[in-house]
Structure 1
Amino acid sequence: MLIDKIKVIVFDLGNVLIYFDYGRLKFNLNKIETGLGDRFIKKYYENYHVHQQYEKWELNNDEFLKIMLEWCENKIDAEAFKHIYADLFTENIETTKLLAKLKDNYQLVLLSNTNFIHQKYGWEQFSFLKYFDKFILSHEVGAIKPEDKIYKAVENFTNQLPEYHLFIDDIEEYVYGAKKRGWKGIQFVANEKLLSDLKSHSILT
């Protein structure tokens, strides 16, 4: 069993605490016009750098929405798009139910590549967020994982040494980015595996 001096547990959001499904976006756009969702999703993935620019706030809301509405062939207005674009998320209750217990002994930080619309119109509603001491969000920091700047933003808040942080993310590259700073890391692959990994770090018994 590992004996770690962990003081901070840093959680990714998407596909760890919540699941997201762009198929719902495609489905809802296809209800507006047959094939619209398919065409939109194709453009979205072919131009994924636009998504990343928005996550880093290199594009503001108006700039991003202008592009999105063009990709929707102007068949929808901005307010309706925001709701459809953020209707993606489902809570992973098997993991979020751990937060209350973890909160008793650890500082909890949420670290996410996300954007303003997904936050305000989507995941901000979830009640489990109350357990977090801080959200470190890409569109507020101006950096995305695995860029060093976003991990440093966590340390600036916690005021703890790198080795006192444990990061949980579903993407191996992002976990590696944290480990390069000296953090501990767990790649999330399944709820049962996360429980086992937390026990191996003596966080759960």
Structure 2
Amino acid sequence: MTSSDRRYSVIVFDLGNVLSPFDYHPALDAVEHIERGLGGKLREFFTANYEYHRAFERGDVTSDEFVARMLSVLDHKVTAEQFCRMYSEIFTLNKALITLLPQLRKQYKLVLLSNTNPIHLRYGYGGFDFLKQFDKLVLSFEVNAVKPESKIYEAVEAFTKAPPAEHIFVDDIAEYTETARRMGWDAVQYVGFRNLVAEFTKRGIL
């Protein structure tokens, strides 16, 4: 089935670097201002312990466990509250894409699918108004699975009750869009707003 032959009923959006660009440099700079060298220590920890952070996003590590380890890495020079705020002040808004959501919502079920964690939800993007446009937020730590694991895509399908072919997924990471296609979805790798509009227009979504 080609994309032009499809009938879509569900649009699934990634959060980070699609609807909400993020940048850890402000967080690292904020930690560095507490004491010189702390930002570097935090950067080194995340670089060397990618799987630990991924386990946090999967829900295998609790917020309390994660914060305790981070405070240890930072030599307890910050409080738990300070860390959570600095760690989460990384998100901005893709306003051009966000303005499309109300229009899309009139015709399609909208689902947010994100590898994320409860601290970022509470202290970071959780208050963004555009989240109200979504029929469902499928968050990795809540379903105990992360992209590109099939379980997290299946969690979307369990909510939508729609055939796989009626889903289209927008994510900036090629591996995650490829998995969606293997699941029977259509997918667009997000490389910019204009390109996405062109892809949606080509499919008759816009």
> TM-score band, normalised by the shorter chain?
over 0.9
Matches within 5 A, 1:1-205: 2-204=4-206
What TM-score do you get using the length of structure 2 for normalisation? Answer: 0.97
Aligned partners of 1:185 and 1:18: how far apart in 2?
19
Letter in 1 for 2:191: V
1:90 aligns to what SS in structure 2? coil
Letter in 2 for 1:201: R
1:88 aligns to what SS in structure 2? coil
Cα deviation per residue 1:10-54 (whole Å; 9 max; x = unaligned)?
Answer: 000000000100101111001101121112111111111111010
Across the aligned residues of Structure 1 and Structure 2, the Cα RMSD in angstroms comes to 0.9
Contact 1:13 1:111 in 2 (8 A): yes
Deviation at 1:85, TM superposition (A): 0.6
What TM-score do you get using the length of structure 1 for normalisation? Answer: 0.98
Aligned partners of 1:69 and 1:197: how far apart in 2?
44
> Tell me, which stretches of 5 or more residues in structure 1 are unaligned?
none
Cα deviation per residue 1:117-174 (whole Å; 9 max; x = unaligned)?
Answer: 0001100111111100000000000000000000000000000010000000000000
Cα deviation per residue 1:43-68 (whole Å; 9 max; x = unaligned)?
Answer: 11111111101001110111111111
Contact 1:4 1:202 in 2 (8 A): no
Deviation at 1:3, TM superposition (A): 3.5
1:194 aligns to what SS in structure 2? helix
Contact 1:89 1:122 in 2 (8 A): yes
1:91 aligns to what SS in structure 2? coil
Aligned partners of 1:49 and 1:73: how far apart in 2?
22
> Tell me, which stretches of 5 or more residues in structure 2 are unaligned?
none
Q: Percent identity?
A: 44
Deviation at 1:177, TM superposition (A): 0.9
Aligned partners of 2:48 and 2:30: how far apart in 1?
20
1:122 aligns to what SS in structure 2? helix
